[in-house]
Amino acid sequence: MTSDSGVFSADHLDAGTKLLLLEAPPLSDTDLTILDVGCGWGPIACVSASRAPASEVWAVDVNDRARALTAKNAEALGLSDRVHVCSPDDVPPDLRFDRILSNPPIRIGKSALHDLLCRWLDLLAPTGVAHLVVQRHLGSDSLAKWLVQRGHRVDRITSRTGYRVLEVGPR
């Protein structure tokens, strides 16, 4: 996979992303529609598509360069027929997701982050689940509390090297 300047963690696989990819429960045959919110250069989307060969993966980002890199990486890996890269508003509105995997953009601020999570978590299928990696010092615990208050089941499945991986169910 290749990366470039102007995107998140341009020169290496982010430690939080790595933890998410190692610690989130394996994708199963029923994870057919997968969403990566904030795809960056595409590590989560591309690894998910290669791990779940029957899946369709939606990779969304507001950053044009990030989307271009994810598309390029999916192409290089032979995954471009199943990795759909688009801006958030271009995701078909009737899609529901079996799995959301995300290293979300915490630094956009609490209110914008909450709006973003509400938008995508409400598109989880009834049996779907989201796995989010969040740095502890950037508010993973208060985020988990807010999600519970919003009516989600939240389990902390991993806590390591300053990161938490949260498992979030639909409301």
Ligand X SMILES: C[S@@+](CC[C@H](N)C(=O)[O-])C[C@H]1O[C@@H](n2cnc3c(N)ncnc32)[C@H](O)[C@@H]1O
Helix H, strand E, coil C: the string for the chain is CCCCCCCCCCCCCCHHHHHHHHHCCCCCCCCCEEEEECCCCCHHHHHHHHHCCCCEEEEECCCHHHHHHHHHHHHHCCCCCCEEEECHHHCCCCCCEEEEEECCCHHHCHHHHHHHHHHHHCCEEEEEEEEEEEEHHHCHHHHHHHHHHCCCCEEEEEEECCEEEEEECCC
State the minimum distance, in angstroms, from the CB of residue 145 to ligand X.
21
Size of the site for ligand X (CB under 6 A): 21
Q: Rule CB under 6 A: which of 28-67 touch ligand X?
A: 37-40, 43-44, 60-63, 66
To the nearest whole angstrom, how small is the minimum distance from the Cβ of residue 134 to ligand X?
10
Cα separation, 152 vs 148, in Å, equals: 5
Measured from the CB of residue 36, what is the shortest distance to ligand X in angstroms? 6
Distance CA 31, CA 84 (A): 16
Residue 9 beta carbon to ligand X: minimum distance, rounded to whole angstroms: 5
Compute the least distance from the CB of residue 119 to ligand X, in Å. 8
Q: By CB under 6 A, tell whether 101 contacts ligand X.
A: no
Mask for 104-133, x = binds ligand X (CB under 6 A): -x--x-------x-----------------
Nearer Cβ to ligand X (79/116): 116
What is the x/- site pattern for ligand X, positions 3-22, by CB under 6 A?
Answer: ----xxx----x--x-----
Interface residues with ligand X (CB under 6 A) are 7-9, 14, 17, 37-40, 43-44, 60-63, 66, 88, 103, 105, 108, 116
